[in-house]
Structure 1
Amino acid sequence: MSEHTTSFAASFTLERNSFGKLVLTNALGERFEGVVPVRAFPIQSPEDGVSLVNLDGEEVGWVDALAEVAQPAQTLIREALATREFMPVILSIDAVTSFSTPCTWTVQTDRGKTEFVLRGDEDIRRIGKEHALLIADTHGIQYLVRDQFALNATSKKILDRFM
């Protein structure tokens, strides 16, 4: 953390300015406009370790546990994270056009039904210890499978052909 970093255990305020940007004021009265929250571990521990960085990319605040941040700051941080992060969670794999790549996948996500093109088997990566997968499409969108073994039988069968 830099010399300007503020922990949420210290006195601070977080608000939106008239342009909709987050403004952090630390215990010393220093104001940082355009602060952006960034999760340290977005998949394994999304509720823990959130850094607040200024426009220069310097950390000016740190949140150990998002649930412990008082309102309305917690809501402001969550809203900012939601607009920044776009990672649909795959709930089921309905079909693929081919078992060779590139191929089009039809999936159900937490945001609805969608299709994407898988360029190659290497675009499916194992992450963490909990059987999670990240699948990248040709546009760079990352899809998350929280637990490959919790998927339905059809989804597992399709996924096994690519692993």
Structure 2
Amino acid sequence: MTTTNNPDLARDAMGHLQLRHDGQTCRVSAVRNFPITAPAEAISLVSPEGKELAQIARLDALDAATRALIESDLTQREFTPAILRILRISSRATPSTWDIDTDRGPTRLTLKGEEDIRRLNASTLLITDNHGVQFLLKSLSSLDRHSRRLLDHFL
């Protein structure tokens, strides 16, 4: 594994990200090592087998074209909707069904247990539904009063 600020990347005919290094071309995927706390730092380029082939210290250190390739790959891989509002919760006990508004539109999630609400810091929560989808609540203080009241029963 090498740390680089200038990876030789391109897309193949199928749209897969390709890394050229040591005279070889390998299919890779970009993976954030710290997706919540440092999303623009420590990006790994991993093979389909999961082996880390290169690491990028900071996205902002890359040229615009390379950064665009990596950000495009990250967007295809990641799906963490941000919770904007909590409209309704079916019950104060778990399992419960939550109707929420996210940055990707309205949806419904099922919370299996209170342990599926993980506090990342004083104001940020990561909520995992029964299908394993993770929802990010970036700031408790940004919630409206109704949403906060509903959430308080689980914190």
Please tell me the TM-score bracket, short chain as reference. over 0.9
Residue 5 (structure 2) aligns with:
8
Structure 1 residue 130: deviation in Å?
A: 4.5
> 8 Å contact 1:104–1:115 — kept in the other structure?
yes
Give the Cα–Cα distance (whole angstroms) in 2 for the partners of residues 110 and 85 of structure 1. Answer: 14
Residue 144 (structure 2) aligns with:
152
Give the Cα–Cα distance (whole angstroms) in 1 for the partners of residues 108 and 49 of structure 2. Answer: 37
> 8 Å contact 2:3–2:57 — kept in the other structure?
no
Which of 88, 96, 99 lines up with 1:95 in the alignment? Answer: 88
Give the Cα–Cα distance (whole angstroms) in 2 for the partners of residues 97 and 136 of structure 1. Answer: 17
Structure 1 residue 155: deviation in Å?
A: 1.1
Determine whether 1:73 maps to 2:66: yes
Which of 103, 113, 123 lines up with 2:106 in the alignment? Answer: 113
TM-score by length of 2: 0.93
TM-score by length of 1: 0.89
Give the Cα–Cα distance (whole angstroms) in 1 for the partners of residues 50 and 91 of structure 2. Answer: 43
**Structure 2 alignment gaps of length 5 or more:** none
Structure 1 residue 145: deviation in Å?
A: 0.5
- Give the 3-state SS of the residue equivalent to 1:87 in structure 2: coil
Q: Spell out, residue by residue over 1:58-85, the C-alpha distance to the aligned partner (whole angstroms, 9 max, x if none).
A: 2222111112211321111111111111
> 8 Å contact 1:8–1:61 — kept in the other structure?
no
- Give the 3-state SS of the residue equivalent to 1:43 in structure 2: coil
Give the Cα–Cα distance (whole angstroms) in 2 for the partners of residues 120 and 84 of structure 1. Answer: 26
Which of 118, 123, 131 lines up with 1:125 in the alignment? Answer: 118
**Structure 1 alignment gaps of length 5 or more:** none
The amino acid across from 1:66 in the alignment is L
Determine whether 1:139 maps to 2:131: yes
Give the Cα–Cα distance (whole angstroms) in 2 for the partners of residues 55 and 105 of structure 1. Answer: 35
- Give the 3-state SS of the residue equivalent to 1:162 in structure 2: coil
Runs of 4+ in 1 over 4 A off after TM superposition: none
**Cα distance change on mapping 1:130 and 1:45 into 2, 3 Å:** farther
Q: Would you say how many aligned residue pairs link Structure 1 and Structure 2?
A: 155
